[in-house]
Amino acid sequence: MITIVWIAAVLWKNVSRPVSTLFYAGVAYGIFAIVISAVMSPIVTGELQGPLTHPFGIVSVLVTNAIWGTAAGVIAVVLKKAIN
């Protein structure tokens, strides 16, 4: 659902560079996911868990979300061309 909202937003706003925009959206989403995990895991389980406990976890979350955002940007470009 998040990806659909991202694609719809860049199409609706007619963003000139949807691939780079959604790449950065993916990175921002990854950062937010890491922060939320760091805040919520001690509350829920009583101890810090998630990406912050494993350095590779931080990198993998950011890279995965950056790739996902880039893919969403490519889909947005294809849809934009199909609409026009």
For 10-64, how does the pLDDT look when each residue is reduced to its tens digit (9 = 90+)?
Answer: 999 999 999 999 999 999 999 999 999 999 999 999 999 999 998 899 999 999 9
- The number of domains in the chain is 1
Only one residue has tokens 């061309």, namely 81
pLDDT at 40: 95
pTM confidence score = 0.89
Residue 84 confidence class, pLDDT cut points 50, 70, 90: confident
CA distance 25 to 43: 27
E strands in 19-76: none
Segments forming the whole domain that contains residue 72: 2-83
